[in-house]
Chain A
């Protein structure tokens, strides 16, 4: 069957989700395009009568995960100077977080692990049911719930931000 025209109906929502997922417009559209191409090349495997949108989101998830995996060459910290210092004594913040005026959803989202970001957006933005999300991501519902719970809570604290009153070094 030719699902080409039907596909086009879903493009705006695929773009919205991809934009939230990746922030960058070109990258997001690349992801959508790769998704559409893969969908077209596999259109025979789509069972007519089933949910085309869910099928497309499943494909998009797979494309996204492959991109992440391909890029999994990890970053390495390199000591430039041998006289390394005792940075470990620099304790982490005591959690003095307050509301921040500049709230930046794009940035906060990008700081979530990809798997949590997907779930938080599929539920919160795409308004998929937990079962649909579990299906699209090929994970159990319990995993969806725990990613949702952790992702939302982390996003909440990121958006709560930090107190701007803290002093930065005077740079003249």
Chain B
């Protein structure tokens, strides 16, 4: 009998999920999974992830191919680069920022000067980065069904309150010309993060993110996180962190941040 337990490596686990094992090895992994509920849960999650990819993105296969991809022979650069230089650079920058920054506490020593103080990465900066990323990811989707009409604002606030188990009323920025368009709950590093999206008549978009913090702190000054064209003003007030993100003029952004802050402190309990 050679029924001795076989060491299962991390690579074996993934190769099992991806169907890349020999049948013999596969059986060994299956036996290990049967004996180890935690491993079984992990493998099951990995399978689920692969399924979710297909559920989410396979629909692209059935979309009609846009004309610009079908007609490459025609003046190929006529449309070109309209989006990439601005938006893609932005998205890519943020991707890099997230990849490098989160969890490593990294910051940019060469950016240190008397004028520009880099602040050591910490959890509130993580929030600023998350807010900037969420801004970029969802900025183009404001017109999707997640959007709420004015008349549905009440329903939406109710929905958010139910999700979070507490009353949430987003500040109104109408005096600055921004209407609340929608919002969603996102998983943040520190727990759920509520994101509210606003838009003005010109189509400019700003987002407000509110997240709960593990450790309470006194109210802080505004800080600015700049990521390419996206500015994020963020601050901490007690157990909550706030971030206002947008690609518009910083002065306007700062005014909006002040407006948000004022509305929050005016009515804060206690």
Binding site for B on A (CB under 8 A): 4, 8, 11-13, 15-17, 19-20, 22-27, 29-30, 32-34, 36-37, 40, 67-68, 70-81, 83-94, 96, 100-102, 104-108, 110-115, 120-121, 123-125, 127, 129-130, 145, 148-149, 152, 155-156, 158-159, 161-172
Contact = CB atoms under 8 A, between A and B. Distances in A.
Contacts of A93: 189-191, 214
Contacts of B166: 167-170
Contacts of B99: 112-115
A164 B87 contact: no
Contacts of B189: 92-93
Contact of A76 (B90, B118, B267): B118
Contact of B171 (A91, A158, A171): A171
B249 interface: no
B223 A79 contact: yes
B241 to A, nearest CB: 9
Interface in B189-227: 189-192, 194, 210-215, 217-218, 220-227
Contact of B111 (A25, A76, A80): A76
B252 interface: no
Contacts, number: 309
Contacts of B217: 85-87, 89-90
B223 A80 contact: yes
Contacts of A32: 69
Contacts of A111: 98, 102, 130, 133
Contact of B57 (A20, A110, A149): A20
Given A81-B223, A96-B191, A168-B210, A87 B123 contact: yes
Contacts of A36: 69, 72
A83 B61 contact: no
Nearest to A155: B49
B145 interface: no
Interface residues of B, number: 115
Given A37-B76, A167-B165, A85 B221 contact: yes
B134 interface: yes
Contacts of A114: 92, 95-96, 99
Given A77-B225, A129-B20, A164-B163, A16 B124 contact: no
Given A92-B123, A102-B163, A167-B164, A78 B117 contact: yes
Given A19-B60, A33-B69, A73-B228, A68 B95 contact: yes
Interface stretch (B24-32, B147-155, B174-182, B232-240): B232-240
A78 B222 CA distance: 10
Given A159-B45, A168-B210, A171-B169, 10 more contacts: A12-B63, A15-B63, A33-B72, A74-B96, A90-B217, A107-B137, A113-B98, A163-B191, A165-B165, A169-B268
Nearest to B107: A77
A162 B186 CA distance: 9
Nearest to A167: B166
A169 B210 contact: yes
B57 A29 contact: no
13 contacts: A27-B84, A30-B84, A36-B72, A67-B84, A77-B107, A78-B117, A91-B214, A107-B186, A130-B18, A155-B49, A159-B45, A168-B194, A172-B169
B215 A89 contact: yes
